[in-house]
């Protein structure tokens, strides 16, 4: 595990966590601090009488802390690593609460890699009944969505501008109908209204929903891959066992392009974007964690690790699962393989033609120059320009990091524009999350 200050800071979920961690680096706040070849641990004195127990598995890294923070790693975990990076400690014997945690992680890893899963066979009759009931709820929910869309277009969308309640109410109805994918799109519409979205953007989103409804009505007439895309967009994705059984496996050295955290339905969602160094295939690891439970594995932009991934079915669907354990990552900060801005735009158009509901397409563009003009951040390449969705602070940070030189840019296409997630130069990685 790289314990340089830059490597530790790259693990931070945001700038606020870095600032808070620096405030905890006083040795007086750490009555216990220790390291060995497997772990780093400490006790950080907070406002309560009992100090927080902080521990890091160096073979990950993976974090655990007794504090109630929902960020991973939390400020205590970052402060612990920063302290050790600043003042290396001699090896010592870990306390019981550290060894118990390491043993439990090791046992889970061994169970995944060596023990074949033998789940009990489900009752086919009961399973068919559940599937039929779910299909009925989905049909009823989609019919309600169709009626709602027709009503809004008949009345005009002007009354919806700036309002969030209509979208949030319908989103909850879609959750009840087991259509979480539709509910997520409606919640995004509510967020867009809070941000001042105009009628044209709202109508574009309505068009996407109508296309989804039309596709579901003709589901049996469509190719298998398109059927899978539609069901995944509705929120009816394949389960883990089905993905692993499909055997769309790819073993590679995976470069971490970006790591994002967001809050979804009282859960912390983490999106880890990867690119295979040999096959150039892109992948998305999507994980969820409850507020009191940390993620098992930590990732940082610029790190590279060996693993085999199993990909979900569908057209240009990047989501994948870890089919094997992750080898200890190495911090490389080597640039990902990208294409020109023109080629990336063409690839994006082809992907949308295959999967029109894919609203967060990843793209990697090389030879891009970042500039700031008229209160917007732009990516320039070969007489082409692309507006980037960044705050003013993020835009200036990216401009300063690039130094006016060309970068390899990793971004997500969204209906409202391109959102820069990371930018790369030799031995340099700028990451939006910090």
Domain boundaries defined on the chain: 5-114, 129-234, 240-331, 341-431
Give me the residues paired with residue 307 across strands: 252
How many C-beta neighbours within 10 Å does residue 243 have? Answer: 21
pLDDT of residue 123 exceeding 80: no
Look at residue 165 in the predicted model and tell me its pLDDT.
Answer: 93
Banded model confidence at residue 52, pLDDT cuts 50, 70, 90: very high
The CA distances from residue 382 to 228, 243, 373, 378, 417, in Å, are 38, 41, 17, 13, 19
Q: Which of 391, 366, 398, 364 is nearest to 376 (CA)?
A: 391
Q: Over range 281-300, report the average pLDDT.
A: 80
Q: Identify the pLDDT of residue 288.
A: 79
Q: According to the model, what pLDDT value does residue 113 have? A: 56
Q: What pLDDT is stored for residue 60 in this prediction?
A: 74
The 10s digit of each residue's pLDDT in 12-43 is 887 788 889 988 988 888 889 899 888 999 99
Question: Do the beta carbons of residue 324 and residue 113 sit within 8 Å?
Answer: yes
pLDDT mean across residues, the chain? 85
pLDDT at 116 over 70: no
pLDDT tens for each residue of 296-322: 788 888 888 889 998 888 765 688 988
46-60, 107-121, 354-368: which has the minimum mean pLDDT? Answer: 107-121
Share of residues in the chain with pLDDT > 70 (%): 90
- CA gap 205, 345 in Å, rounded: 21
User: What Cα–Cα distance (Å) separates residue 274 from each residue in 56, 183, 319, 410?
Assistant: 23, 27, 10, 11
DSSP-based three-state secondary structure for 136 = helix
The pLDDT of residue 293 is: 65
What is the per-residue pLDDT for 323? 85
The residue with greater pLDDT, 433 or 262, is 262
Residue 184: per-residue pLDDT: 87
What does the pLDDT read at residue 246? 72
pLDDT tens profile 137-189? 899 999 999 999 999 999 999 999 999 999 999 999 998 888 988 998 999 89
CB atoms within 10 A of CB 333: 18
pLDDT for the residue 434: 52
Q: What's the pTM? A: 0.68
Q: What is the pLDDT of residue 147?
A: 96
Q: CB under 8 Å to 392, separation ≥6 — which residues?
A: 375
280 or 115, greater pLDDT: 280
The span from the CA of 222 to the CA of 250, in Å, is: 27
Residues in Cβ contact with 97 at an 8 Å cutoff, skipping those fewer than 6 apart: 53, 55
Strand segments (E) across 205-354: 249-264, 267-276, 282-289, 303-311, 319-322, 330-331
DSSP classification of residue 230: H
- Characterize the bridge pairing of strands 282-289 and 319-322: parallel
How do residues 222-275 score in pLDDT, each as one tens digit?
A: 988 888 889 888 887 667 777 777 768 899 999 999 998 887 666 788 899 999
Q: What are phi and psi of 191, to 5 degrees?
A: -65, -40
């Amino acid at each position: 595990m790289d314990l340089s200050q830059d490597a530790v800071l790259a693990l931070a979920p945001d700038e606020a966590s870095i600032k808070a961690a620096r405030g905890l680096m006083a040795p007086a706040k750490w009555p216990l601090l220790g390291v060995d070849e497997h772990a780093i641990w400490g006790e950080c004195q907070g406002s309560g009488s009992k100090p927080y127990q902080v521990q890091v598995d160096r073979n990950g890294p993976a974090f655990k802390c007794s504090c109630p923070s929902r960020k991973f790693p939390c400020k205590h975990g970052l402060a612990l690593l920063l302290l050790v990076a600043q003042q290396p400690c001699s090896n010592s014997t870990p306390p019981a609460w550290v060894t118990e945690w390491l043993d439990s992680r090791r046992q889970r890893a061994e169970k995944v890699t060596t023990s074949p899963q033998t789940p009990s066979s489900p009752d086919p009759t009961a399973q068919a009944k559940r599937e039929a009931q779910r299909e009925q709820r989905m049909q009823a929910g989609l019919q309600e969505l169709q009626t709602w869309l027709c009503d809004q277009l008949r009345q005009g969308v002007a009354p919806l501008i700036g309002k969030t309640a209509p979208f949030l109410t319908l989103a909850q109805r879609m959750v009840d109908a087991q259509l979480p994918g539709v509910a997520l799109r409606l919640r995004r519409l509510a967020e867009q209204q809070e941000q001042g979205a105009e009628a044209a953007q709202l109508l574009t989103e309505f068009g996407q929903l109508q296309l989804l409804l039309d596709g579901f009505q003709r589901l049996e007439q469509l190719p298998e891959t398109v059927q899978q895309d539609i069901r995944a967009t509705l929120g009816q994705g394949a389960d883990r066992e089905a993905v692993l059984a499909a055997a769309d496996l790819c073993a590679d050295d995976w470069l971490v392009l970006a790591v994002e955290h967001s809050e979804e339905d009282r859960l912390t969602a983490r999106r880890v974007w990867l690119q295979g160094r040999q096959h150039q295939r892109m992948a998305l690891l999507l994980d969820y964690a409850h507020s009191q439970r940390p993620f098992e594995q930590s990732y940082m932009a610029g790190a590279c690790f060996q693993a085999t991934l199993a990909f979900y079915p569908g057209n240009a669907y990047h989501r994948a699962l870890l089919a094997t354990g992750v080898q200890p990552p190495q911090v490389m900060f080597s640039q990902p393989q990208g294409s020109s801005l023109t080629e990336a735009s063409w690839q994006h158009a082809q992907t949308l033609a295959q999967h029109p509901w894919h609203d967060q397409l990843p793209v990697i563009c090389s030879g891009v120059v970042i500039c700031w003009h008229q209160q917007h951040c732009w990516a320039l390449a070969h007489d082409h320009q692309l507006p980037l969705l960044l705050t003013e602070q993020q835009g200036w940070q990216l401009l300063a990091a690039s130094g006016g030189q060309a970068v390899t840019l990793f971004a997500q296409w969204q209906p409202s524009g391109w959102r820069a997630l990371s930018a790369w130069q030799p031995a340099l990685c700028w990451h939006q999350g910090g």
